[in-house]
């Protein structure tokens, strides 16, 4: 059994302001640090073999809280980085719409055909994230692994292993909240079980977001196609098989 604990980083100022953070290397803000600190207790109860992290500072800081002073290696992986939003980076929705009319609607409803100016496509993100995930699973067969990464990374992981369409990326809800933990148990034959999805029960109420927002986009705006009941449970993904 290979077990993955996939954890989103804590909050940054750009998250808080509803701006596109993407590949911008923002540190955790004060609230984000407090969120990450809450991971120490629940993750200290897990005998992790290794921790993988996006190289961006907000993910590495979160990974350090997951490690909690233990002698566990943190390995950074470029494939786990957040989407590069190109010229959209650090902008608000209204600023983007003013410069690229119709772009926000594509982000929300047709992300599979969106190409941000100088940015990555969603398909390009899925390809690198999938490669990184499969590589980790194959190298860490039989181990317990934490992965500290980003919203898009986590949503793409779930889309990939559920074999869902990129257009449904915002329809797997709730979307991964800051410092939420997604736990996946993987068998050698490619069967896997999502034990929990976007679980932020370790957070006190004051550190939770009443409405999870993706650059100010509420879950309710996107609408759920894959609810928690569709995600949690047993599935199969051929690339997880030990062949």
How high is the pLDDT of residue 175? Answer: 84
Q: What stretches in the chain show pLDDT beneath 70?
A: 210-223
CATH architecture of 2-240: 3-Layer(aba) Sandwich (3.40)
**Is residue 18 classed exposed, middle or buried when 0-12, 13-18 and 19+ CB atoms within 10 A define those classes?**
middle
In this prediction the pTM is 0.94
Domain chopping of the chain, boundaries: 2-240
Q: What is the DSSP string of 114-135?
A: ---TTS--HHHHHHHHHHHHHH
How high is the pLDDT of residue 221? Answer: 46
């Amino acid at each position: 059994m290979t077990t993955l604990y996939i954890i989103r980083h804590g909050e940054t100022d750009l998250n808080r302001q509803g701006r596109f953070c993407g590949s911008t290397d923002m540190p955790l803000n004060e609230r984000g640090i407090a969120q990450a600190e809450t991971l120490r207790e629940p993750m200290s109860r897990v005998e992790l073999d290794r921790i993988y992290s996006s190289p961006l500072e907000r993910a590495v800081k979160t990974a350090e809280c997951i490690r909690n002073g233990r002698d566990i290696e943190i390995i950074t992986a470029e494939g786990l980085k957040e989407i590069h939003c190109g010229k959209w980076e650090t902008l608000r929705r209204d600023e983007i719409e003013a410069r690229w009319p119709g772009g926000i609607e594509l982000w929300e409803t047709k992300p599979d055909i969106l190409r941000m100016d100088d940015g990555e496509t969603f398909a390009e993100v899925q390809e690198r994230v999938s490669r990184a995930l499969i590589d980790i699973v194959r190298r860490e067969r039989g181990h317990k692994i934490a992965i500290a990464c980003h919203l898009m990374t986590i949503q793409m992981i779930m889309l990939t292993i559920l074999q869902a369409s990129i257009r449904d990326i915002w329809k797997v809800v709730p979307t991964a909240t800051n410092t939420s933990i997604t736990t996946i148990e993987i068998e050698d034959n490619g069967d896997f079980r999502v034990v929990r999805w976007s679980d932020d029960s370790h957070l006190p109420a004051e550190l939770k977001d009443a409405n999870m927002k993706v650059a100010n986009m509420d879950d309710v705006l996107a609408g759920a196609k894959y609810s928690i009941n569709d995600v949690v449970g047993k599935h199969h993904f051929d690339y997880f098989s030990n062949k």
